Amino acid sequence: MAAVFRVTRNALLKRKNNIDTACGLSRSMASKTPVGFIGLGNMGSPMAKNLLKNGYPIIATDLFPESCKELQDIGAQVVDSPGEVAERADRIITMLPSTPNVLEVYTGPNGILKKVKKGTLLIDSSTIDPAVSKEMAVAAEKMGAVFMDAPVTGGVGAASLAKLSFMVGGVEEEYQAAQELLTCMGANVVYCGQVGTGQAAKICNNMLLAIGMIGTAETMNLGIRLGLDPKLLTKILNMSSGRCWSSDTYNPVPGVMEGVPSANNYQGGFGTTLMAKDLGLAQNTATNTKTPIPLGSLAHQIFRVMCSRGYANKDFSSVFQFLREEEGQ
Amino acid sequence: MAAVFRVTRNALLKRKNNIDTACGLSRSMASKTPVGFIGLGNMGSPMAKNLLKNGYPIIATDLFPESCKELQDIGAQVVDSPGEVAERADRIITMLPSTPNVLEVYTGPNGILKKVKKGTLLIDSSTIDPAVSKEMAVAAEKMGAVFMDAPVTGGVGAASLAKLSFMVGGVEEEYQAAQELLTCMGANVVYCGQVGTGQAAKICNNMLLAIGMIGTAETMNLGIRLGLDPKLLTKILNMSSGRCWSSDTYNPVPGVMEGVPSANNYQGGFGTTLMAKDLGLAQNTATNTKTPIPLGSLAHQIFRVMCSRGYANKDFSSVFQFLREEEGQ
Amino acid sequence: MAAVFRVTRNALLKRKNNIDTACGLSRSMASKTPVGFIGLGNMGSPMAKNLLKNGYPIIATDLFPESCKELQDIGAQVVDSPGEVAERADRIITMLPSTPNVLEVYTGPNGILKKVKKGTLLIDSSTIDPAVSKEMAVAAEKMGAVFMDAPVTGGVGAASLAKLSFMVGGVEEEYQAAQELLTCMGANVVYCGQVGTGQAAKICNNMLLAIGMIGTAETMNLGIRLGLDPKLLTKILNMSSGRCWSSDTYNPVPGVMEGVPSANNYQGGFGTTLMAKDLGLAQNTATNTKTPIPLGSLAHQIFRVMCSRGYANKDFSSVFQFLREEEGQ
Amino acid sequence: MAAVFRVTRNALLKRKNNIDTACGLSRSMASKTPVGFIGLGNMGSPMAKNLLKNGYPIIATDLFPESCKELQDIGAQVVDSPGEVAERADRIITMLPSTPNVLEVYTGPNGILKKVKKGTLLIDSSTIDPAVSKEMAVAAEKMGAVFMDAPVTGGVGAASLAKLSFMVGGVEEEYQAAQELLTCMGANVVYCGQVGTGQAAKICNNMLLAIGMIGTAETMNLGIRLGLDPKLLTKILNMSSGRCWSSDTYNPVPGVMEGVPSANNYQGGFGTTLMAKDLGLAQNTATNTKTPIPLGSLAHQIFRVMCSRGYANKDFSSVFQFLREEEGQ
């Protein structure tokens, strides 16, 4: 490998100025330079569309040709590999299902880092292990590029409406450039700190969400069995110290709220499999940093057992149903 | 035992009318009839004072003479036993540490039920097993009296300021009479349903609170170890689905909030021992009703271990400290 | 209530001598005095038969007439209530499903303690809360009788073959008298200490059994998924520090052992419901003595969830099946 | 990278024959060819000595010069790096603390795989993630070498006395060659299957051991609090279905057994940190294979919390002490 380009704060600032001078305009100016987008799944596709709507030319790729076709029809340029995207765009967003996909897209034989141009800004919105984000940042830095992690919360609906929340980790000097793109796709963009902290924030939130949801399901079930009306119990919890997002916004008990998965036989929403995946990430980061997470760990196991028992594709609030006595028992 | 007086709805209504007629005024009228108060501890004492302030003559007793002395000095009449209270008051409030005390005060040799007058309203604000509340209600009914459970949330401060919350279980026809007294001592009074449901609501709330607190402590600890600033992580959780009372109102991490126990070395607040006691009640009711509470159960065990490891008298949010790596490790 | 007969060691010894003198023979002599037996279910019936086989006249009762009929046909005298048994026998064995039954049989309106003769030996082989055993012992002592707890391990088969194990708690001076009867029904009789310790020993054993079984199921499942042959893994565990009764005697993985429930679709054996019941007792005693049992508590919750999910009547080793990925997932 | 040498069964056999022919003797013959040994810590050092005792010339290296010095004094040849060992030995044993060390020693700049000769047999006795073992095997195969995992059970004492147990994973044709060396250092050598299964077996055993130990500690503590004598309870468990290695061979309660860490203030034995590390591996493999391990996971968390609370260097049976009520509480 040739001499490594070590990115320092000064170098970064200099690089940005050079780019601006070279292009004759800043990144935020009207005549927008193309943005690469890799991963056109349920989430990535509407995200890329929102960038197009905001006037950014898109150079896209995906494993599945159909996904590409749809975006091509509305004006995106489709290429064959992440490497080709990297040759043509100096800002690239990746939105991929899990860690192995990220490794492949960045470091694989046709990966981004094989062809990336110096000064390129790489934004990964996948939810993965923060340790892998850090590895990608180091690998990107060796190529003179900058890697940021920017995982999202909010589902497919929020992606379509550009209402996602982004939690961003990476070099602070690059945050503004990332923010420019992310605000086209989301309503909240929060800078969390060094690379990996975006993932950390997402993982932490989802772990506490999982704990709160199971806790709410257990509590509601116990209360009902002790003779309490579920709506009344919900009201009491929500005016008391038991209050949480799962009790006041996404109640898992059918009949308590409208417009949530529990009102629709746990269809839609956030699948148990996805929650189990995120808890697996929380578990791995906790294990690797020697951090005790007794409830987080048990929550992980509960959702894992649910996946084995037929709840994989139901919303994660179906844990209420899982814990409840079966009919006729 | 002589013929049992079976209290029916009609009988109750009739009894109330008789009382009103006999007294020539309703219970809520100006010239107030005495209220019995049994249990003058940290909570009971300010509660009784608030009744006095509202013009109710108090007939009190407690195991500890000093507690009685203080109340006597400000006008309460002190007697020697729960039975004597029952001879002199037709509304009695009990505020006792735990189930055995309640059993003793109601059914012991000098207990209330030995002397209770027909038509007496018995309000128990202790936190105990709802099954015991039901037993007391049955025993009271046999004597022609009415028993309601009305446990509180809010600590000593709230008791002094008459800002407690009461969750009330019992015969609905008597709720108004109970409410008249409880509003002198609390800001919220909620009717929960049949006898025992007040306890059920309290136990449910505290179980979810315990789960949320440990979950928040784990999450904050993990986030900090992954490089996140605790204030920033709190902000992110509170705008996301991880939000709960323990993250937004009573954060367990020193430095994140003012005016909470974590800002004061976990002094004051709600002791780990008390939380362990309430979780023991949740555990017992869940076991006895065959209700699975995996996280509630583990939360119980964690606070129990904390009691064994020197955290008994610290606020329960000290679970953050318990889980955190020790200095120098 | 008349003057209470306070049983002391000396009084007991004296009483025994009096009885022996009065009868002209010791309890172990050839012409045997009748033994009362209450509770003729799946376990009680073969136990009573074994006493009959050993030459003890039996005076029996049960809620269900059919159970009585069968025993009557082979020579037992059947009476109508526990009280009547107590009038006619000075040694009584009870074998009942759970705590409420024990309370009813001993302290109910037609209960043993209403009619018990002074000096009667009461042996309860039910599995119940040791605190209730202690209460019964106190109540029996007030009547001049002696209560011992003697729960069993071993199932219906062991009961028929007189191969049960008894763990006995109670006054040491009476142990020999109890042992005389218990050895007719079991292969092992162990004196555990003061009243309640028989229950304690049983509860402790079953809690550790439950933990070992779930642990074995998890371990076998993990090993299989990591590519290990289940028989080989079993062999390795059994020669190493992972060895336990569930791995070497009652392996939960189909195909590893013959003659165990896992070889027979988890039919027979010790039902999940029964294990959940025993863990409920362990949970209650732990909660009431403020003893942390994190794994015991989680084991309880897992068997409780299994009861809700269709495993109630399968052998408790079916936890292997519960944790395993479903077909086609 | 040059053409990859694909190791087939035939190639392997041919290679072995060539070696034998070239050397003029088989590996098991009297004039023994040198064995490389990397990692001369508490375990590695006595292991290497036992190979020396059995007549194998040793070519060793370690990060710490002192460790090397000791072995050099008794006849081992010491070299500077794993790469140099690989140049001089065609059988190499590695015994390293954890995954990163294994990665460094095998794939680092001066690592084994930089210099390894075709046909070399690489045996890793470290305890690491089986997925890493598989990666190493693939990397070794690319260089024409063969990698086997052979983690051990038994501590420093067993290592000195050549009484270790080895669980071996890898190509079956090479097992005999590995066995020849391993039997010089251990009493049991078990072939487990394909590469990684040695690690899997070790991880599985230690997970069940951890569960059994905590379960035994909880059970003994509960029994003692219920009035049982610990020696008697141990006897009862060991003749019943609660029996496990932790109850009958390594009892965690002081005073029950001689010659175990609980008899010596939990000094010596297997440190809590090491158990937490092994449970971390179990957790990671379970998470990555989507296998539910509820008790294994909670056991991991408990040992992790113990590490934070001052038990890191005590034997893992000190969990009994951790769960027990503190003096004076």
- Are C90 and C33 contacting, i.e. CB atoms less than 8 angstroms apart? yes
For residue A7, pLDDT over 80 is answered with: no
Within an 8 Å CB–CB cutoff, is residue A287 touching chain D?
yes
CB-CB contact of D155 with D128 (8 Å): no
Q: What are phi and psi of B187, to 5 degrees?
A: -95, -30
Q: What is the pLDDT of residues D200-234, one digit of tens each?
A: 999 999 999 999 999 999 999 999 999 999 999 99
Place C286 in a pLDDT band, splitting at 50, 70 and 90.
Answer: very high
pLDDT surpasses 70 at B224 = yes
SS (H, E, C) B213-255: HHHHHHHHHHHHHCCCCHHHHHHHHHCCCCCEHHHHCCCCCCC
Chain A: give the shortest CA distance to residue B143, in Å: 25
Residues of chain D numbered 235-254 and touching chain C (CB < 8 Å)? 235-237, 239-247, 249-250
Read off the pLDDT of each residue in C113-139 and give the average, rounded to a whole number: 97
**Mutation to test the D interface, candidates A129, A273, A283, most D Cβ within 10 Å:** A283
In the predicted structure, residue A327 carries a pLDDT above the cut 70: no
The partner residues of B164 in beta bridges, in order of sequence, read B186
The answer, for D153 touching chain C at a CB cutoff of 8 Å, is yes
Residue C191 above 60 pLDDT? yes
Gap from A137 CA to chain C (nearest CA, Å): 32
Query: In this structure, how many other beta carbons lie within 10 angstroms of the beta carbon of residue A197?
Result: 27
**Closest to C27 in 3D by CA, of C106, C72, C89, C112:** C89
Please judge whether A153 and B239 are an interchain contact, meaning their C-beta atoms are less than 8 angstroms apart: no
Please tell me the predicted confidence (pLDDT) of residue C1: 32
Q: How far is D100 from chain A (nearest CA, A)?
A: 12
Report which residue type is found at C32.
K
**Coil, strand or helix: which one is D290?**
coil
Show which residues of A are catalytic: 202
Rounded CA-CA distance A99/A110 in Å is 17
What number is the average pLDDT over the span A201-211? 98
For the residues C58-81, what does the mean pLDDT come to?
91
Element containing residue C213 per DSSP (H, E) = helix C197-225
Are residues A317 and A266 in contact, defined by beta-carbon separation less than 8 angstroms?
Answer: yes
Shortest CA gap D200–chain B (Å) = 28
A36: number of Cβ within 10 Å: 30
Interatomic CA distance for residues C195 and A92, integer angstroms: 74
Chain B residue whose CA is closest to C299: B294
- Tens digits of per-residue pLDDT, B288-327? 999 999 999 999 999 999 999 999 999 999 999 999 976 4
Q: How many residues does the structure list for chain C?
A: 329
Chain B nearest CA to A275, separation (Å)? 13
pLDDT band for position D7 (cuts 50, 70, 90): very low
DSSP A270: S
**Residue C259: φ, ψ to 5°:** 70, 15
* Catalytic residue IDs of C: 202
Q: Is C94 helix (H, G, I), strand (E, B) or coil?
A: strand
Query: Which of the following CATH numbers is that of domain A199-321: 1.10.1040.10, 3.30.230.10, 3.90.550.10, 3.40.830.10?
Result: 1.10.1040.10
Residue C54, min C-alpha distance to chain D (Å): 26
Residue C272 half-sphere exposure toward CB, CA atoms < 13 A: 28
Over residues D138-156, the mean pLDDT reads 95
Q: What is the pLDDT of residue D66?
A: 82
Angle at A152 between CA A146 and CA A157, to 5 degrees: 135
Looking up tokens 């007391």, which residue turns up?
B136
More confident site: B265 or A12 = B265
Q: Which residues of C touch B291 (CB under 8 A)?
A: 304
Range C213-241 average pLDDT: 97
For residue A192, give the 3-state DSSP assignment: strand
* Active-site annotation holds for B202: yes
pLDDT of B204 > 60? The answer is: yes
Quick one: how many helices (H) and strands (E) in chain A?
15, 9
Measured between CB atoms, which of D197, D212, D226 is closest to C289?
D226
Least confident among A277-281, B31-35, B141-145:
B31-35
Residue of C nearest to D279 (CA): C219
D284 in contact with A at a CB cutoff of 8 Å? yes
HSE-up of residue B329 (Cα within 13 Å, Cβ side): 18
**Does residue B113 carry a pLDDT above 50?**
yes
- Element containing residue A149 per DSSP (H, E): strand A146-149
The helix (H) or strand (E) run that includes residue C166 is strand C164-169
CA distance C308 to chain A (A): 5
D326 touching B, CB under 8 A?
Answer: yes
Output the pLDDT for position B152.
95
Q: SS3 of B43, please? A: coil
Q: Which residues of A fall within a CB distance of 8 Å from D308?
A: 292
Is pLDDT above 60 for A328?
no
Q: How far is CA B285 from the centre of its chain?
A: 16
Could you give the dihedral angle defined by the CA atoms of residues C173, C175, C176 and C181, in that order, rounded to the nearest 10 degrees?
A: 150
- Measure CA of the first residue to CA of the last residue in chain C; give whole Å: 67
Q: Are B216 and B251 in contact (CB under 8 A)?
A: yes
pLDDT value of position D326 = 64
Residue (of C156, C203, C180) closest to C44 by Cα position = C156
- Residue D224 in contact with partner chain B when CB distance is under 8 A: no
**Does residue D29 register a pLDDT over 80?**
no
Q: Which residues of A touch B233 (CB under 8 A)?
A: 201, 204
Q: Which CATH class is domain D33-193?
A: alpha beta
CA D196 → CA D37, D124, D191, D325, distances in Å? Answer: 20, 10, 11, 41
Please judge whether A282 and B222 are an interchain contact, meaning their C-beta atoms are less than 8 angstroms apart.
Answer: yes
Strands C164-169 and C152-153: antiparallel
Q: Indicate the pairing of strand A164-169 with strand A152-153.
A: antiparallel
pLDDT at A67 over 90: no
Whether residue A195 contacts residue A232, with contact meaning beta carbons closer than 8 Å, is answered with no
User: Chain D within 8 Å of A307 (Cβ-Cβ)?
Assistant: yes
Q: How distant, in Å, are the alpha carbons of A161, D52, D63, D125, D209 from that of D40?
A: 61, 13, 9, 12, 27
Count Cβ neighbours within 10 Å for each residue of C12-23 and write b for 16 or more, e otherwise. beebbeebeeee
Which among B167, B149, B186, B166 has a CA at the least distance from the CA of B50?
B186
Find the closest chain B residue to D308 by CA distance.
B325
Q: Does B297 touch chain C if contact means CB atoms closer than 8 Å?
A: yes
| Nearest residue of C to residue A303, measured between CA atoms | C323
* Two structure tokens written together for D91: 């059988």
pLDDT digits (tens, 9 = 90+) for B94-111: 999 999 999 999 999 999
* Neighbouring-strand partners of residue A165: A153, A188
Chain C contact for B307 (CB, 8 A cutoff): yes
Q: Tell whether A290 lies on the interface with B, counting CB pairs under 8 A.
A: yes
Binned at pLDDT 50, 70 and 90, residue D78 comes out as: very high
Cβ-nearest to B292 among C284, C291, C305:
C305
Cα angle for residues A129, A135, A138 (degrees, 5° grid): 145
pLDDT at site A4: 35
Cα separation, B239 vs B227, whole angstroms:
20
Provide the CA B184 distance to its chain's centre, in angstroms.
Answer: 16
Contact pairs from chain B to chain C, CB under 8 Å: 50
Q: Which helix (H) or strand (E) holds A11?
A: helix A9-23
Asked if the model's pLDDT at residue D45 lies above 50, the reply is yes
C206 reaches D (C-beta below 8 A): yes
**pLDDT band at residue A25 using 50, 70 and 90 as cut-offs:** very low
Provide the β-strand partners of residue D59: D36, D77
| Closest residue, chain D, to B312 (C-alpha) | D329
What is the Cα–Cα distance from D79 to D88, expressed in whole angstroms?
10
Q: What is the pLDDT of residue A15?
A: 41
SS3 B94: strand
Instruction: Report CB contact under 8 Å: A215, B219.
Output: no
Chain B residue whose CA is closest to A169: B228
First to last CA, chain B: 67
CB contact under 8 A, D287 and A292: no
Give the 3-state secondary structure of residue A171.
Answer: coil
d(CA A147, CA A142): 11
Residues A212, A245: contact at Cβ < 8 Å? yes
Q: What is the model's pLDDT at position C23?
A: 37
Domain limits, chain C: 33-193, 199-321
Instruction: Give the three-state DSSP class for C60.
Output: strand
**Is the pTM higher than 0.80?**
yes
Span D29-58, average pLDDT: 91
* Minimal-distance CA residue of chain D relative to A294: D301
Q: What is the 3-state secondary structure (H, E, C) of B267-326?
A: CCCCEHHHHHHHHHHHHHHHHHCCCCCHHHHHHHHHHHHHHHCCCCCCEHHHHHHHHCCC
pLDDT (0 to 100) of residue B326: 64
State mean pLDDT over C96-100: 93
Q: What's chain A's average pLDDT?
A: 90
D67 pLDDT band, cuts 50/70/90, is confident
